[in-house]
Amino acid sequence: MVKKNITLGEFIIKNQASFQYSSGELSRLLNGLRLAAKVVNHEVNKAGLVDIIGEAGDVNVQGEDQKKLDVLANEKFIQTLSKREIVCGIASEEEEDFISINSYDEKHQNKYIVLIDPLDGSSNIDVNVSVGTIFSIYRRVTPVGTPVTLEDFLQPGRDQVAAGYIIYGTSTMLVYTTGDGVQGFTLNPALGTFYLSHPNMEFPETGNIYSVNEGNYVHFPQGVKDYIKYCQKEEDDRPYTSRYIGSLVSDFHRNMIKGGIYMYPKSSVSTNGKLRLLYECNPMAFLAEQANGKASNGKDRILDLKPTELHERVPFFCGSRKMVEKAEEFMAAHNE
């Protein structure tokens, strides 16, 4: 049985041997993410006191207005990870291209690349609703000591060696997996230390929460419309409860604890869906499968999809296994 009073640092060291590449490199990388998360958490918590909320005046590569905290979080994670002699490349949702770090120098035997959504749900910043950071870690596929290439980043999600998220809410939590279950750590702000609070997290097999932006209902495929009507029908253990925060991290976190399904389907407006395969869907799918859940694009397993570009978007259905499978049934009925 895992002790709950263990710190994140102690847990990483204690379980390092269970990781197939147990050289200490991944441990240092996770510690780097932990440090950056604490810095961003500090800024998020004081956002209402200083001039860092609101628009930054720029538009990111997705064509979306960048919030000031978006920019700050992006800078903090890139700076923190760049200084550690373990990361050879970073790709951020906020950057048009990937960043190569010391991989041109033969002295640097960096093996890992990180893909990151620095501040997920940033549209909620100005109204004091939970936001988060999502990260995904791979081993590079090109030779060590050479510059990273696009090939290093366009790996299918099943090749991830670690993934996780940090949720900045009423409490700050870091949740991650290295392929051996999902562990959740809560920050003690008085000590600045993450403690294991949610060991071996798992989705209930089914649930009674569905999370989708129903304001887009008229634009959804018929199979998705039919599944939503199924969720709303008064029969057996239904109707389900509709809960949608608009922050993937927050919706995913709640559904993993209580049981539910998160959906961001394609639509007549967003024909490929809206969520990014590399920065959002792959890491959350890895976490879901490690937590006894399921993630798909409505038809195919997310982790089997082969990315073709850094900012590729895909439909996303994720959560309690039976709920995702039922949603897939409705889409299959319309060959969607």
Dmax of the chain from CA atoms? 64
For residue 3, what pLDDT band results from cuts at 50, 70 and 90? low
- Say if residue 251's pLDDT is above 80: yes
Q: pLDDT tens, 266-278?
A: 999 999 999 999 9
Please name which of 6, 165, 114, 158 lies closest in space to residue 15, comparing C-alpha atoms: 6
Q: Please state, rounded to an integer, the average pLDDT across all residues of the chain.
A: 89
Burial-class residue 216 by CB neighbours within 10 Å (0-12, 13-18, 19+). Answer: middle
Per the annotation, does 244 bind a ligand? yes
For Cα atoms 19, 22, 23, give the angle at the middle one, nearest 5 degrees. Answer: 155
Q: What is the per-residue pLDDT for 159?
A: 97
Per the annotation, does 122 bind a ligand? yes
**3-class secondary-structure state, position 6:** coil
Per the annotation, does 70 bind a ligand? no
Per the annotation, does 45 bind a ligand? no
- Say if residue 327's pLDDT is above 60: yes
- Say if residue 15's pLDDT is above 70: yes
Per the annotation, does 326 bind a ligand? no
Q: What is the per-residue pLDDT for 83?
A: 80
Q: What is the per-residue pLDDT for 286?
A: 98
Domains annotated for the chain, with CATH where assigned, are 8-198 (3.30.540.10), 209-333 (3.40.190.80)
Per the annotation, does 123 bind a ligand? yes
Q: Rounded CA gap, 186 and 206, in Å?
A: 26
State how far Cα 213 lies from the chain centre.
Answer: 18
- The predicted model scores a pTM of 0.92
Q: Rounded CA gap, 203 and 323, in Å?
A: 11
H/E stretch holding 70: helix 68-82
Per the annotation, does 325 bind a ligand? no
Q: What is the per-residue pLDDT for 226?
A: 98
Per the annotation, does 119 bind a ligand? yes
Q: What is the per-residue pLDDT for 161?
A: 94
Q: What is the per-residue pLDDT for 139?
A: 94
Q: pLDDT tens, 82-99?
A: 887 778 999 999 999 999
Per the annotation, does 188 bind a ligand? no
CB 175 within 8 A of CB 253: yes
Q: What is the per-residue pLDDT for 5?
A: 80
